[in-house]
């Protein structure tokens, strides 16, 4: 059974990550607290995806400390992630969700009903029997979201969930993200799309070259950026 302690807040204390001598994250300290939808923005290679992987617990920092609800080394039972290019298991859409439910320890008898609920939530009930790899990009993203919700997470990480999707598919995903946020699930999302950040964020974390440059309320970030980098980024200039 689950304990009652939440994985939230997630706290990074002076986290560093080196991969083969290259600094990917440099002295990152941040607290991801309940409630707000945190959007990580910044150019490619800024360290957004890496920060998500560390927060998910898929990689260990070289230096510093990460805690989930005050505890370290917590397995990802109450966290979920949708990768930038999610891998569909070689099964039907329904079987993908069912697998995630089983992995989350959901009882076999209740699984079919939960599969139907989750597929209904993401609007894929009609495609339940379709092989997951045959779905379109947008459908696969939505299936990945359904799968991620299977363990009823405290926090959901989204890595560029709408990259390479057309406007209609993007809107479907963004609507879904709002629905999920409204359920009280903490969202941490990486994007380099300013418009998307504007539409979804309650707080913004601007990253650049492995560091956190600015961490502010979304309204303030866009109206009165504190740093030169943030001003450049919000003005639509290229931050390299």
Partner 1 sequence: MQHLRMPETSVIGLILSADPALVGIVRLSLFVSLTAAACAALIGVPFGALLALTRFPGRQAIVVVLNALMGLPPVVAGLAIYLLLSRSGPLGSLGLLFTPQAMIIVQTVLVVPIVAALARQTIEDLWIEYRDELAAMNVGPLGRIATLIRDARLSLVTALLAGFGRATAEVGAVMIVGGNIDGFTRTMTTAIALETSKGDLPLAMSLGLVLIALVIIVNALAWSVRRLDERLAG
Interacting residues with partner 1 (CB under 8 A): 56, 58, 75-77, 80-81, 83, 86-91, 99-100, 103-104, 131-134, 147, 150-151
* Nearer to partner 1 (CB atom), residue 97 or residue 197: 97
Whether the Cβ atoms of residue 50 and residue 59 lie closer than 8 Å to each other: yes
Cβ 104 to partner 1, closest distance in Å? 7
- Distance (Å, whole) CA 230 – CA 209: 13
Whether the Cβ atoms of residue 157 and residue 55 lie closer than 8 Å to each other: yes
Cβ 149 to partner 1, closest distance in Å? 12
Cβ 119 to partner 1, closest distance in Å? 17
- Distance (Å, whole) CA 203 – CA 222: 10
DSSP conformational letter for 8? P
* Nearer to partner 1 (CB atom), residue 25 or residue 150: 150
* Nearer to partner 1 (CB atom), residue 141 or residue 234: 141
* Nearer to partner 1 (CB atom), residue 53 or residue 125: 53
CB-CB neighbours of 25 under 10 Å: 26
| End-to-end CA gap in the chain | 47
Beta strand pairing call for 203-208 and 37-41: parallel
- Distance (Å, whole) CA 149 – CA 105: 13
Cβ 233 to partner 1, closest distance in Å? 28
Cβ 113 to partner 1, closest distance in Å? 20
Cβ 150 to partner 1, closest distance in Å? 8
- Distance (Å, whole) CA 90 – CA 80: 20
Beta bridge partners of 81: 157
- Distance (Å, whole) CA 156 – CA 120: 19
* Nearer to partner 1 (CB atom), residue 91 or residue 198: 91
* Nearer to partner 1 (CB atom), residue 41 or residue 93: 93
Cβ 234 to partner 1, closest distance in Å? 32
Whether the Cβ atoms of residue 7 and residue 79 lie closer than 8 Å to each other: yes
* Nearer to partner 1 (CB atom), residue 99 or residue 222: 99
SS3 category, 54: helix
């Amino acid at each position: 059974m689950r304990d009652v302690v939440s994985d939230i807040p997630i706290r990074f204390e002076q986290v560093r990550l080196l991969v083969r001598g290259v600094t990917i994250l440099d002295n990152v300290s941040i607290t991801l607290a309940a409630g707000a939808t945190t959007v990580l923005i910044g150019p490619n290679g800024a360290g957004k995806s890496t920060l998500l992987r560390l927060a998910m617990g898929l990689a260990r920092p070289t230096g510093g400390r990460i805690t989930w609800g005050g505890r370290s080394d917590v397995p990802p039972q109450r966290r979920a992630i949708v990768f930038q290019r999610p891998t569909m298991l070689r099964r039907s859409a329904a079987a993908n969700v069912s697998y995630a439910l089983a992995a989350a320890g959901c009882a076999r008898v209740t699984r079919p009903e939960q599969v139907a609920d989750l597929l209904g939530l993401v609007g894929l009930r009609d495609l339940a029997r379709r092989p997951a790899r045959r779905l379109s990009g947008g459908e696969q993203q939505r299936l990945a979201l359904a799968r991620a919700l299977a363990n009823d997470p405290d926090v959901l990480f989204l890595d560029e969930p709408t990259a390479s999707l057309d406007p209609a598919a993007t809107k479907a995903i963004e609507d879904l993200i709002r629905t999920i946020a409204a359920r009280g699930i903490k969202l941490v999302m990486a994007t380099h799309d300013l418009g998307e950040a504007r539409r979804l964020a309650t707080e913004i974390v601007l990253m650049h070259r492995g560091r956190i440059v600015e961490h502010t309320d979304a309204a303030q970030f866009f109206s009165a950026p504190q740093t030169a980098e943030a001003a450049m980024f919000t003005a639509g200039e290229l931050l390299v």
